[in-house]
């Protein structure tokens, strides 16, 4: 239990690592902080063009259908791919001073969360401009589903960041894994396209219920189903416990491996 | 854990895998199994020591002896294989200065980041901010990005943050070489101040002088074990002695290697220049390579009469006879006065006093005249030294003589200082 108290003691470090990351990210670029909004918007345009015009996806308001799942997906993806190297890339710190090592993945994933929240400003703007409308009761579930996704991303970040210290390939493997994972998750399409017999397997993907919940809230304007929420929370919790456990086992040897 | 102790280290062992060629990718691990051969290196073999609360301790030892590993274990960057380490209170380490500095951010922003990495909370940093900036002497530049700083400014800022953390235990690794001479003095004084506040300090350094000045105690780590611990004044000579022996061994090895190349005759010559019996101590009070020996030291007064009791401000002459066994190049004579507590009250040598360099080639005598010895009452011991080159002891003779100083006045302290009182200053 002392580890949790210690991580709390180092909350200022987590905060300043996030601040440092956000502040330095766009330093020197002409548009600066605007990129936080431009980036998702430009991605949206590319994806919409490919899937609506070229691939002829049949969903109504496909850009919104895609966008409300794509933004949470990008949060998850950057948390994991960047998370793989978040301990290794700070080897100077890890080798030279003590701090609870958990701080690094926590700061990284939290930083991505902040980025997602900024992207959500764009989502709300798009919904407003297109007069899609919003269901306030459904919106109440948003913080809960964000929290669940955050914990899931954190669990995987713990896991891959610890493994990467010992096996550098993981960082590159994760790039491929995440691409496959994206196509196997209901980001660009809905779960209704998956044949019935494969759905059970499909539901084991912890990102499936999370993305479904986001889409329920914004696209279908309805509260997510209770089953979806429970499933998301359970999978998220399991992944977090495993990831944290692995991290605890390996962190003592980080410095020796670097 | 004993409540008097701040740090308890018990039977700590640590070994590292030394890879001949470490593979970190799957391909390397699968294909080049043979290349991944490694050997275990036992760095620590059961180190135990205590550090009391408020004590300052120096860790010394030759390169690779395990002292830096010990410090890393105390910092919790590494963890012991067996044994235990217990530390009470907040630990701060001055191992890496400027950890986490970001070049594009301002000095002030970096203070916040760096201090947070040391585990400080927002309010604590707010409270210390002015002190940190003042100590760094960077008031005019504190809002500029750190990348515009000179390396000296950078280190000053980093040191200021680290030193203002207010830890219960401060771990320091060779960092007192920061900034210019003035700033070094400032750092040094700050360390004394921190020590005065009751902070426990552990220092790893190659500079025995630094350790002697700050630490109460020295721990000598040798081949992964504590070889000796005690007052710096006892441990340091033994350590220097060992290093000298090591150096001679290496020199002899080198000579042998050369001899094998150049033939036996050359080797014989070489051996003659290093007298075999030179190394040895007399009651643990004397060490050096023995090329020259102090054979007699007499303490004289102004009239050249031998005496051991003097009054404050009297003249003392130290008369020294020496024998030369083989040529001593760039010889240096030195002296040191120590009080009963082991404090070096004064020490100097001919090099410090800028005498032109000289060699000792034959037996001789010399004299040091101290026209006005300002030491206050007490018993003092005298060390006399002959060194060569850059501080290599030829004959370091500890406690070669004892003198007593008596004081007819009642002024206090270690030494008298010239002074005058001006009471009617205004009228003047």
Contact A20 B102 (CB under 8 A): yes
Contact B99 A93 (CB under 8 A): yes
Kindly state whether A7 is in contact with chain B, defined as any CB-CB distance less than 8 angstroms: no
Cβ contact B159:B187 at 8 Å: yes
| Minimum distance, in Å, between the CA of residue A24 and any CA atom of chain B | 7
**b/e A110-137 (16+ beta carbons within 10 angstroms → b):** bbbbebbebbbebbeebbeeeeeeeeee
CA distances from A187 to A74, B5, B229, B367, B368 (A): 10, 59, 66, 92, 90
Which residue is it, tokens 């269901």? Answer: A135
Opening angle at CA A222, ends A219 and A224, nearest 5: 100
pLDDT in tens, B338-370: 988 788 899 999 989 999 889 999 999 999 999
Paired with B145 in beta bridges are: B106
Kindly state whether A24 is in contact with chain B, defined as any CB-CB distance less than 8 angstroms: yes
As a three-state string, the secondary structure of B320-385 is EEEEECCCEEEEEEEEEEECCCCCEEEEEECCCCCCCCEEECCCEEEEEEECCCCECCEEEEEEEE
Q: At what angle do helices A226-250 and A207-218 cross, to 10 degrees?
A: 140
- What whole-number distance in Å separates Cα of residue B415 and Cα of residue B291? 35
Domain extent listing, chain A: 2-257
- What whole-number distance in Å separates Cα of residue B402 and Cα of residue B307? 10
Q: At what angle do helices A103-129 and A35-48 cross, to 10 degrees?
A: 60
In the predicted structure, residue B219 carries a pLDDT above the cut 70: yes
Q: Which residue of A has its CA nearest to B112?
A: A16
In the predicted structure, residue B276 carries a pLDDT above the cut 60: no
Across the A:B interface, residue pairs with CB atoms under 8 Å apart total 83
pLDDT in tens, A46-102: 888 887 777 777 778 888 888 899 999 999 999 999 999 899 988 888 887 888 999
Per-chain mean pLDDT for chain A? 87
Give the ranges where A26-141 is alpha helix by DSSP (H): 35-48, 62-85, 91-96, 103-129, 136-139
Beta B217-222 vs B200-204: how paired, if at all? unpaired
B106 Cβ neighbours under 8 A, 6+ residues apart: B142, B143, B144, B145, B146
- What whole-number distance in Å separates Cα of residue B252 and Cα of residue B245? 10
Cβ contact A99:A254 at 8 Å: no
B132 Cβ neighbours under 8 A, 6+ residues apart: B111, B115, B160, B161, B164
In 3D space, the residue among B134, B177, B112, B324 whose CA is nearest the CA of residue A23 turns out to be B112
Kindly state whether A35 is in contact with chain B, defined as any CB-CB distance less than 8 angstroms: no
Which residue is it, tokens 């550098």? Answer: A168
Residue by residue, pLDDT tens for chain A (258 residues) are 788 888 888 888 898 889 888 877 777 676 767 777 888 888 888 888 887 777 777 778 888 888 899 999 999 999 999 999 899 988 888 887 888 999 999 999 999 999 899 888 888 888 888 888 888 888 888 999 999 999 999 999 999 999 999 888 888 899 899 999 998 899 888 888 888 888 888 888 889 999 999 999 988 888 888 888 898 899 999 999 999 999 999 988 888 887
Contact A92 B25 (CB under 8 A): no
Kindly state whether A16 is in contact with chain B, defined as any CB-CB distance less than 8 angstroms: yes
Kindly state whether A18 is in contact with chain B, defined as any CB-CB distance less than 8 angstroms: no
Q: Which residue of A has its CA nearest to B110?
A: A20
CB proximity under 8 Å: A 119-178 to B: 166-169
Cβ contact B392:B279 at 8 Å: no
Opening angle at CA B261, ends B256 and B262, nearest 5: 95
Q: Around Cβ A193, how many Cβ atoms within 10 Å? A: 10
Q: Around Cβ B227, how many Cβ atoms within 10 Å? A: 17
A36 Cβ neighbours under 8 A, 6+ residues apart: A26, A115, A118, A119
3-state secondary structure (DSSP) of residue B89: coil
DSSP, res B306: B
Q: At what angle do helices A62-85 and A35-48 cross, to 10 degrees?
A: 120
Q: What is the DSSP string of A216-229?
A: HHHTS-SPPPHHHH
Give me the pLDDT at residue B272, please: 39
In 3D space, the residue among B232, B164, B204, B171 whose CA is nearest the CA of residue B7 turns out to be B171
Q: Chain B partners of A24 at a C-beta cutoff of 8 Å? A: 102, 104-105
B187 Cβ neighbours under 8 A, 6+ residues apart: B159, B163, B176, B178, B179
Q: Which residue of B has its CA nearest to A28?
A: B104
- What whole-number distance in Å separates Cα of residue B44 and Cα of residue B335? 38
pLDDT in tens, B167-209: 888 888 876 566 677 777 788 888 888 888 888 999 888 777 7
- What whole-number distance in Å separates Cα of residue B339 and Cα of residue B341? 5
pLDDT in tens, B13-63: 998 877 666 666 666 666 655 556 677 888 888 889 999 988 999 998 888
- What whole-number distance in Å separates Cα of residue B337 and Cα of residue B378? 12
Q: At what angle do helices B107-117 and A11-25 cross, to 10 degrees?
A: 140
Task: For residue B413, name the pLDDT band (cuts at 50, 70, 90).
Answer: confident
CB proximity under 8 Å: B 83-102 to A: 91, 93, 95-96, 99-100, 102
Least CB-CB distance to A97: which of B29, B75, B120? B75
Give the side-chain half-sphere CA count within 13 A for A160.
Answer: 28
Largest Cα separation within chain A, whole Å, is 57
Q: Chain B partners of A88 at a C-beta cutoff of 8 Å? A: none
DSSP, res A34: G
Per-chain mean pLDDT for chain B? 82
**Which tokens in the block code for residue A127?**
């919904």
Least CB-CB distance to B116: which of A16, A27, A96? A16
Kindly state whether A84 is in contact with chain B, defined as any CB-CB distance less than 8 angstroms: no
Kindly state whether A2 is in contact with chain B, defined as any CB-CB distance less than 8 angstroms: no
B102 Cβ neighbours under 8 A, 6+ residues apart: A20, A24, B109, B110, B113, B146
Residue B156 belongs to what H/E stretch? helix B151-163
Radius of gyration of chain B (CA): 27
């Amino acid at each position: 239990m002392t580890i949790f108290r210690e991580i709390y003691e180092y909350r200022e470090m987590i905060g300043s690592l996030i601040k440092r990351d956000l502040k330095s990210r766009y330093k020197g670029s002409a548009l600066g902080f605007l990129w936080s909004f431009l980036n998702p918007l430009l991605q949206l345009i590319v994806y919409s063009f490919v899937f609506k015009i070229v691939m002829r996806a049949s969903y109504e308001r496909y850009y919104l259908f895609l966008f409300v799942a794509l933004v949470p997906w990008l949060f998850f993806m950057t948390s994991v791919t960047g998370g793989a190297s978040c301990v290794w890339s700070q080897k100077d710190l890890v080798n030279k001073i003590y701090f609870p090592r958990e701080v690094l993945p926590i700061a990284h994933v939290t930083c991505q969360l902040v980025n997602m929240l900024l992207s959500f400003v764009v989502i709300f703007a798009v919904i407003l401009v297109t007069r899609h409308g919003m269901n306030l009761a459904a919106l109440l579930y948003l913080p809960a589903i964000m929290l669940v996704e955050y914990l899931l991303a954190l669990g995987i970040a713990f896991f891959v960041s610890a493994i990467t210290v010992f096996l550098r390939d993981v960082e590159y493997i994760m790039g491929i894994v995440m691409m496959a994972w994206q196509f196997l998750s209901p980001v660009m399409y809905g779960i209704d396209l998956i044949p019935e017999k494969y759905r059970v397997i499909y539901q084991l993907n912890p990102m499936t219920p999370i993305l479904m919940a986001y889409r329920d809230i914004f696209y279908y304007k309805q509260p997510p189903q209770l089953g979806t929420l429970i499933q998301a929370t359970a999978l998220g919790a399991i992944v977090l416990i495993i990831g944290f456990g692995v991290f605890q086992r390996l962190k003592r040897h980080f410095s020796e491996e670097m | 854990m004993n409540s008097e102790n701040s740090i308890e280290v018990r039977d700590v062992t640590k070994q590292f895998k030394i890879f001949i060629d470490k593979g970190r990718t799957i391909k390397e691990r699968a294909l080049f199994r043979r290349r991944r051969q490694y050997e275990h290196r036992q760095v620590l073999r059961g180190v135990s020591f205590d550090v009391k609360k408020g004590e300052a301790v120096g860790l010394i030892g030759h390169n690779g002896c395990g002292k830096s590993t010990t410090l890393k274990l105390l910092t919790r960057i590494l963890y012991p294989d067996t044994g235990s380490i217990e530390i009470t209170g907040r630990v701060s380490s001055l191992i890496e200065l400027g950890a986490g500095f970001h070049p594009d951010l301002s000095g002030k922003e970096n203070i916040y980041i760096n201090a947070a990495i040391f585990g400080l909370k927002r309010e604590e940093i707010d409270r210390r901010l002015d002190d940190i900036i003042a100590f760094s002497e960077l008031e005019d530049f504190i809002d500029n990005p750190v990348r515009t700083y000179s390396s000296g400014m950078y280190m000053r800022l980093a040191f200021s943050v680290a030193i203002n953390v207010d830890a219960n235990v401060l771990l320091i690794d060779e960092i007192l070489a920061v900034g210019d001479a003035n700033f070094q003095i400032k750092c040094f004084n700050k360390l004394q101040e921190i020590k005065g506040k009751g902070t426990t300090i552990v220092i790893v350094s190659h500079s025995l002088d630094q350790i002697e000045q700050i630490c109460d105690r020295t721990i000598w780590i040798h081949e992964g074990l504590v070889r000796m611990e005690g007052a710096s004044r006892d441990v340091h000579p033994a350590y220097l002695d060992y290093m000298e022996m090591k150096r001679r061994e290496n020199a002899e090895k080198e000579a042998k290697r050369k001899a094998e190349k150049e033939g036996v005759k050359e080797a014989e010559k070489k051996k003659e220049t290093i007298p075999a019996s030179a190394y040895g101590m007399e009651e643990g009070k004397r060490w050096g390579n023995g090329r020259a020996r102090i054979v007699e030291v007499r303490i004289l007064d102004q009239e050249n009469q031998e005496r051991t009791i003097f009054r404050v401000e009297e003249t003392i002459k130290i008369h020294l006879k020496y024998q030369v066994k083989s040529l001593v190049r760039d010889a240096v004579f030195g002296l040191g006065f120590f009080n009963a507590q082991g404090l070096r009250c004064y020490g100097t040598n001919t090099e410090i006093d800028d005498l032109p360099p000289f060699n000792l080639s034959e037996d001789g005598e010399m004299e040091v005249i101290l026209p006005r010895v300002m030491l206050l009452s007490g018993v003092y011991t005298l060390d006399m030294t002959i060194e060569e080159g850059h501080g290599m002891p030829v004959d370091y003779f500890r406690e070669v003589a004892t003198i007593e100083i008596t004081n007819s006045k009642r002024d206090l302290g270690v030494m008298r200082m010239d002074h005058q009182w001006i009471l009617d200053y205004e009228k003047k």
